[in-house]
């Protein structure tokens, strides 16, 4: 079941890389700041300590909602027990996040970028209404998931095969999100760079209470391969580094918890998942990112998301690639509500 999905995703990778092969970035590398002073193991080094006066979330409600998301699982895998509970102001599991994904430079990388802002919001709000109808007890938080660093087909000046979006593009995305009180995810495809070097470049945005983070192991090319040639990987240590980085910002600037999404559709994309550390300042979503027919997508979700529980789960729907094979249709909210666990983060591309 994995091979067709893997092949499909590689095609997407090549499309993304080709689109950005000749694209230049006007983003400049920013100085290291306290939010990024983290060791390789993910531990802080002289960063802001947790604010002990901040209260945790409503634990009784949190437990009830997590049990609902577990959808009757009897294996003990789900729900994941909080370690510890998130701080007050957490989005998950009190709301379901529904987003459009893409890049403003390309009409082929997702609905965000394919449509003008007003039309995009009209389409996204229609999806929100479908989710509100199928699960009226869970409010929906809409948003946009923007690829802020795109794996490139050319090496660029630093030979890292990465195209970083400039501040003007990111500012535009934030304005688009504000049109309907949406949240923003900034997604990083690090290519031959690394997450430690790329996070500081978007730190000024991560300091904003409505901006969250996504990372894509598919384009983390630790073996030096050019992006698109094979599937990349992140280890638990990388994920812990990111979550500690976010936690430092949350504590220093008194922010609500950050939502942190990790793309996944193969086993090797995330290694040593049992070592992933949960934090009250960060809500980690393991996001099923593969495309294909419904049964293939459900199989991928079962093997790599259900089978290796972390905290919350996400599910991506592709308006075009999911239609390439019979039965040539997108999975519906009703179908996704039958999954175990029920995804609380939904992304449309």
Give 48-58 pLDDT, tens digit per residue.
444 445 777 89
User: What is the CA angle 131-132-138, rounded to 5?
Assistant: 100
Q: Check whether 20 has a pLDDT greater than 90.
A: no
pLDDT above 60 for 345? yes
CATH number of the CATH domain containing 110 = 3.20.20
- The overall average pLDDT reported for the chain is 88
* Average of per-residue pLDDT across 38-60: 52
How many domains is the chain partitioned into structurally?
1
Q: Which of 103, 217, 92, 204 has its CA nearest to residue 150?
A: 103
> Is residue 343 domain-resident?
yes
Q: Is residue 44 one of the residues assigned to a domain?
A: no
Residue 332's CB is within 10 A of a number of other CB atoms, namely 13
- Is 251 part of a structural domain of the chain? yes
Are 8 and 321 a contacting pair, CB within 8 Å? yes
Q: Does residue 16 register a pLDDT over 50?
A: no
pLDDT digits (tens, 9 = 90+) for 213-244: 999 999 999 999 999 999 999 999 999 999 99
Q: Residue 24 burial (CB < 10 Å; 0-12/13-18/19+)?
A: exposed
Give the pLDDT confidence score for residue 53 in this predicted structure.
57
pLDDT (average), residues 149-155: 95
Q: Determine phi and psi for 142, rounding to 5 degrees.
A: -85, 160
Domain span holding position 91 = 2-22+56-348
pLDDT, average across residues 101-111: 94
Which range (19-33, 108-122, 183-197, 270-284) has the least confidence?
A: 19-33
Asked if the model's pLDDT at residue 17 lies above 80, the reply is no
Residue 193: per-residue pLDDT: 98
DSSP 140-199: EEEEEEEEEEEE-SS-TTTTS-EEEPPHHHHHHHHHHHHTTT-EEEEEE--BTS-HHHHG
- Please report whether residue 35 resides in a domain: no
pLDDT of 278 > 60? The answer is yes
Is 43 a domain residue?
A: no
User: Token pair for residue 244?
Assistant: 């500690």
Distance CA(122)–CA(198), nearest Å, equals: 33
Higher-pLDDT residue of 280 and 38 is: 280
The reply to whether 98 falls in a domain is: yes
Q: Smallest Cα–Cα separation from 216: which of 284, 287, 136?
A: 287
30 part of a folded domain:
no
Within-domain flag for 27: no
Contact call for residues 62 and 85 (beta carbons, < 8 A): yes
Which is more confidently placed, 30 or 210? 210
């Amino acid at each position: 079941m994995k091979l067709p999905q893997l092949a499909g995703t590689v095609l997407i990778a090549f499309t993304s890389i080709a689109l950005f092969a000749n694209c230049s970035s006007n983003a400049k590398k920013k100085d290291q700041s306290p939010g990024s002073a983290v060791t390789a193991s993910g531990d802080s080094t002289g960063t802001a300590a947790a604010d002990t006066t901040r209260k945790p979330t409503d634990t009784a409600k949190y437990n009830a909602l997590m049990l609902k998301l577990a959808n009757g699982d009897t294996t003990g895998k789900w729900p994941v027990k909080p370690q510890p509970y998130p701080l007050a102001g957490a989005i998950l599991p009190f709301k379901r996040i529904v987003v459009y994904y893409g890049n403003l430079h390309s009409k082929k990388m997702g609905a965000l970028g394919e449509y003008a802002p007003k039309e995009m919001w009209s389409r996204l709000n229609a999806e929100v209404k479908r989710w509100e109808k199928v699960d009226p007890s869970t409010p929906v938080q809409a948003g946009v998931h923007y690829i802020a660093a795109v794996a490139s087909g050319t090496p660029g000046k630093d030979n890292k095969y990465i195209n970083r979006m400039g501040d003007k593009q990111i500012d535009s995305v934030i304005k688009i999100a504000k049109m309907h009180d949406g949240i923003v995810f900034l997604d990083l495809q690090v290519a031959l760079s690394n997450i430690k070097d790329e996070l500081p470049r978007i730190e000024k945005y991560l300091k904003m209470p409505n901006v969250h983070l996504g990372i894509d192991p598919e384009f983390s090319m630790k073996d030096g391969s050019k992006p698109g040639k094979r599937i990349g990987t992140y280890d638990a240590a990388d994920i812990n580094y990111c979550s500690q980085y976010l936690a430092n910002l949350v504590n220093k600037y008194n922010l609500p918890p950050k939502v942190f999404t990790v793309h996944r559709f193969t086993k090797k994309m995330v290694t040593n998942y049992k070592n992933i550390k949960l934090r009250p300042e960060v809500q980690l979503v393991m996001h099923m990112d593969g495309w294909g027919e419904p049964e293939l997508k459900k199989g991928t979700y079962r093997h790599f998301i259900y089978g290796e529980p972390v905290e919350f789960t996400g599910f991506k729907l592709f308006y075009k690639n999911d239609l390439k094979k019979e039965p040539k249709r997108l999975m519906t909210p009703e179908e996704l509500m039958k999954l175990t666990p029920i995804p609380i983060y939904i992304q449309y591309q």
